[in-house]
A and B are shown apart, each in its own frame.
Chain A
Amino acid sequence: MSDAAVPASPADELSAYQGDHDRIAVGSPISVELAAFMQSGISVTLAVVTADLRPIAGFALACRVDATGTVRVLLRKPANIALINVVTQGGPIAVTVSRPQDHRSIQIKAPAARIAAVRPDDLPEIARQTAGMRDQLIGCAFDPVLSAAYVAFEPGEVVALELKPDRIFVQTPGPGAGSELAR
């Protein structure tokens, strides 16, 4: 790691969350600080499970959190066809956001998600967040061309998934990883 900060730790995450009661919306487990982290231009990955208990991994371009606590995950449809099909059939979803430079990672889970159209204001936000992710990768000494390719997308292929998370977990590597953040 070339110019990264000290790695975040699960213990830091737990104590910070427990001392922070400022939620993005009433009844939401997402704190205002976490919402800002989720939208800061970092890695967004997701998973669903098929009816016959087969997980499917996917990756997204960006993630938005609105004032009601709804999370909009923006992803390339052609790269996630099977995953989107499972979402349309119902079933739980998991989304992990991770910051490459210090590995700070949070996983949110929701009992279901729905497909939504991309809004006009999504595209500049995707551009901002993917640029942030690209810069994170470059900051971690990854090849700049590879870093740009990692987040490349065509505007016409983006789709949104909307979900209301009911559980949040700390995913940062280290002792305590996987712990559920208290609500």
Chain B
Amino acid sequence: MRTLTLDVLRRSLEGVMPSVMATCDQAGTPNVSMISQVHYVDRDHVALSYQFFNKTRQNLLATRRASVTIIDPITYARYRLALDYIETRTEGPLFESMKAKLAGIASHAGMTGVFRLLGSEVFRVRSIELIPTITVPEPTPERDLLTEVRRSYAELSGAGELGELLDLALDCLDRRLGIRNSMALMLDPDTQRLYTLASRGYTRSGVGSEVALGEGVIGVAARERTPIRIGHMTSEYCYGTAVRDSARRFGMDEGQTTEIPFPGLTAPSSQIAVPIMGGRRTLGVLFAESEDTMRFGYDDEDALALVAAHLGTLIMLLPPEDVATQPQASELSEAAPNAAVTVRHYPCDDSVFLDHDYLIKGVAGAILWRLVREYAKSSRTDFTTRELRLDRSLRLPEFAENLDARLVLLRKRLDERSACIRIEKCGRGRFRLLIGIRLVLEEITGEPVEPH
């Protein structure tokens, strides 16, 4: 008979139904309780949620043995696992992944604030027994995820620059994996914040919106460098609306906020965030969400992790200078004769406003300010990425993809604003500033005012 392994039982470890857990003390007295979470670690290990110091915990420390039953939420097959306790982890990727999942389970069970993860108890699986029960046949899957990932790989390999690559990746998630709402965010290594560079399935793109490291599933996935998945959304992992009022902080006029709204679903039920790694560096996060509960399972996590891994490799392989096969022909919005726009720059955070509307800040803001000053001084419109890289005043982070990402961000923000200013590529490592309106430049050099 074929030996069962955890790899083929992962669906039973989603925590859809509570599990039964038995332990015993050294005198042989049994203890039985319900547990919310049996988490898949690898082929031979599971982790259980340690939430309270109770008899179960005392027994584990004393005899290090447990028996757990789990149920497949699709076929209703049940299994009994004999477990040997190894250790308890109170931090790190496994802990954070379980913490997020438990928060969702607690929300679903009406136990938010009661279910709290104190540790991840790691067990070696000694044996797996199929419990004879009444089951239903496995339904035919809607798609073969592995095949679709392979096809996505082939498509993505054709992308020539970062913006195109990320847009294509989200397009593949939609067409091939059936994921309608997704985002790709890049990590700013200096500010330790993630900024949205591509999104799909939302009424507004939210390009440029930011998430702090450690905030929500996206921030935790980036900080812990591990996929974070939640099947029942809870406020604990929602993105806070409290964004620092940097406008007031830096003495700007009221209403001149530099916050770009996060584009996420109003009422998501499931979310997943997978880090995009470039070697050992965190480049960004691939994020997806759905209004359906338990939308993303272990197999979806695998699929997204493969796409994210491929993205990481492709981003690292992109040439340091943007490559454009041919110059683009652009159309600028028609501005009225003698119309002008005031470009305001705040050096304190390099935020740039077009008249009174916030456009961009940080490195991308500094780049735009440099370009428009050059233009105002000498009517120059053609620039190279090389000169930006060499300009120390721009304070560019070390790695190549950071400049590319900022240029993509800047281009998208300008495009979205339908401003009479655009940038476009015009050759290898070259780009052009297109100005269709008279510019008035204004630098606001007031001292920042700290909020009270």
Interface set of A (CB-CB < 8 Å, partner B): 1, 4, 7, 43, 45-49, 53-59, 76, 78-79, 82, 91-96, 98, 100, 103, 105, 107, 109, 140-143, 146, 149-150, 152-154, 169, 171, 173-174, 177-178
| Interchain CB contact (< 8 A) of B52 among A79, A141, A177 | A177
Beyond A55-B30, A150-B76, 15 extra complex contacts between A and B, CB < 8 Å: A7-B114, A45-B20, A47-B30, A49-B24, A53-B26, A54-B65, A55-B23, A57-B22, A57-B68, A79-B78, A91-B28, A93-B30, A143-B73, A146-B73, A173-B115
B111 touches A (CB below 8 Å): yes
Q: Which of B119-141 contact A (CB under 8 A)?
A: 129, 131-136
Determine if B54 and A178 form an interchain contact, defined as CB atoms under 8 angstroms apart: yes
Determine if B134 and A96 form an interchain contact, defined as CB atoms under 8 angstroms apart: no
Q: Which of B43-57 contact A (CB under 8 A)?
A: 51-52, 54-55
Contacts of A146 in B (CB 8 A): 16-17, 73, 76
Determine if A57 and B32 form an interchain contact, defined as CB atoms under 8 angstroms apart: yes
B343 touches A (CB below 8 Å): no
Question: 1/0 contact trace for B18-39 toward A, CB 8 Å?
Answer: 1011111010111111100000
Determine if B22 and A47 form an interchain contact, defined as CB atoms under 8 angstroms apart: yes
Q: How far is the CA of A82 from the CA of B29 in the complex (A)?
A: 17
| Interchain CB contact (< 8 A) of A174 among B20, B65, B114 | B114
With A79-B132, A79-B133, A178-B55 given, is the CB distance from A53 to B24 under 8 Å? yes
B69 touches A (CB below 8 Å): yes
Q: Which of B130-156 contact A (CB under 8 A)?
A: 131-136
B71 touches A (CB below 8 Å): yes
| Interchain CB contact (< 8 A) of B30 among A7, A92, A149, A177 | A92
- Chosen A-B contacts, 26 in total, with CB atoms closer than 8 Å, are A7-B110, A45-B34, A47-B30, A55-B24, A55-B30, A55-B31, A56-B22, A56-B67, A57-B22, A57-B68, A58-B20, A78-B132, A79-B78, A79-B133, A82-B129, A92-B29, A94-B22, A96-B34, A100-B18, A103-B111, A105-B33, A149-B76, A149-B134, A150-B17, A154-B134, A178-B55
With A1-B109, A149-B76, A173-B52 given, is the CB distance from A53 to B69 under 8 Å? no
B82 touches A (CB below 8 Å): yes
Contacts of A140 in B (CB 8 A): 109
Determine if A47 and B31 form an interchain contact, defined as CB atoms under 8 angstroms apart: yes
| Interchain CB contact (< 8 A) of B34 among A4, A105, A178 | A105
Taking the closest CB of chain A, its distance from the CB of B117, in whole angstroms, is: 13
Contacts of B63 in A (CB 8 A): 53
* Those 8 A-B pairs whose CB atoms lie nearest each other, nearest first: A1-B110, A47-B22, A57-B22, A47-B32, A47-B30, A55-B22, A149-B76, A178-B54
B16, B28, B30, B66 pick with most chain A CB within 10 angstroms: B30
Q: How far is the CA of A152 from the CA of B133 in the complex (A)?
A: 8
| Interchain CB contact (< 8 A) of B29 among A79, A109, A177 | A109
Contacts of A57 in B (CB 8 A): 20-22, 32, 67-69, 80
B108 touches A (CB below 8 Å): yes
Determine if B31 and A107 form an interchain contact, defined as CB atoms under 8 angstroms apart: yes
Determine if B65 and A55 form an interchain contact, defined as CB atoms under 8 angstroms apart: yes
Contacts of A54 in B (CB 8 A): 24, 65, 67, 82
Determine if B67 and A55 form an interchain contact, defined as CB atoms under 8 angstroms apart: yes
Q: How far is the CA of A177 from the CA of B67 in the complex (A)?
A: 20
Q: How far is the CA of A43 from the CA of B21 in the complex (A)?
A: 13
Contacts of B31 in A (CB 8 A): 47, 55, 94, 107
Q: How far is the CA of A146 from the CA of B82 in the complex (A)?
A: 25
Determine if A96 and B17 form an interchain contact, defined as CB atoms under 8 angstroms apart: no
Contacts of A153 in B (CB 8 A): 134
- What residue in chain A is nearest B27 (Cβ atoms)? A92
Q: How far is the CA of A91 from the CA of B27 in the complex (A)?
A: 11
Contacts of B78 in A (CB 8 A): 79
Determine if A98 and B110 form an interchain contact, defined as CB atoms under 8 angstroms apart: no
Q: How far is the CA of A49 from the CA of B17 in the complex (A)?
A: 24
Q: How far is the CA of A70 from the CA of B402 in the complex (A)?
A: 72
Determine if B134 and A152 form an interchain contact, defined as CB atoms under 8 angstroms apart: yes
- What residue in chain A is nearest B64 (Cβ atoms)? A53
Taking the closest CB of chain A, its distance from the CB of B291, in whole angstroms, is: 15
Contacts of A177 in B (CB 8 A): 52, 54
Contacts of B136 in A (CB 8 A): 149
Contacts of A78 in B (CB 8 A): 132
With A57-B21, A177-B54 given, is the CB distance from A95 to B32 under 8 Å? yes
- What residue in chain B is nearest A46 (Cβ atoms)? B32
Contacts of B20 in A (CB 8 A): 45, 57-59
Determine if B28 and A96 form an interchain contact, defined as CB atoms under 8 angstroms apart: no
Contacts of A154 in B (CB 8 A): 134
Taking the closest CB of chain B, its distance from the CB of A59, in whole angstroms, is: 6
Contacts of A174 in B (CB 8 A): 52, 114
Q: How far is the CA of A169 from the CA of B23 in the complex (A)?
A: 15
- What residue in chain B is nearest A4 (Cβ atoms)? B110
- What residue in chain A is nearest B115 (Cβ atoms)? A173
Q: How far is the CA of A142 from the CA of B108 in the complex (A)?
A: 10
Q: Which of B64-115 contact A (CB under 8 A)?
A: 65-69, 71, 73, 76, 78, 80, 82, 108-111, 114-115
| Interchain CB contact (< 8 A) of A48 among B30, B51, B109 | B30
- What residue in chain B is nearest A51 (Cβ atoms)? B28
Q: How far is the CA of A94 from the CA of B30 in the complex (A)?
A: 6
Taking the closest CB of chain B, its distance from the CB of A176, in whole angstroms, is: 10
| Interchain CB contact (< 8 A) of A107 among B28, B33, B67, B111 | B33
With A7-B114, A54-B67, A149-B76 given, is the CB distance from A45 to B32 under 8 Å? yes
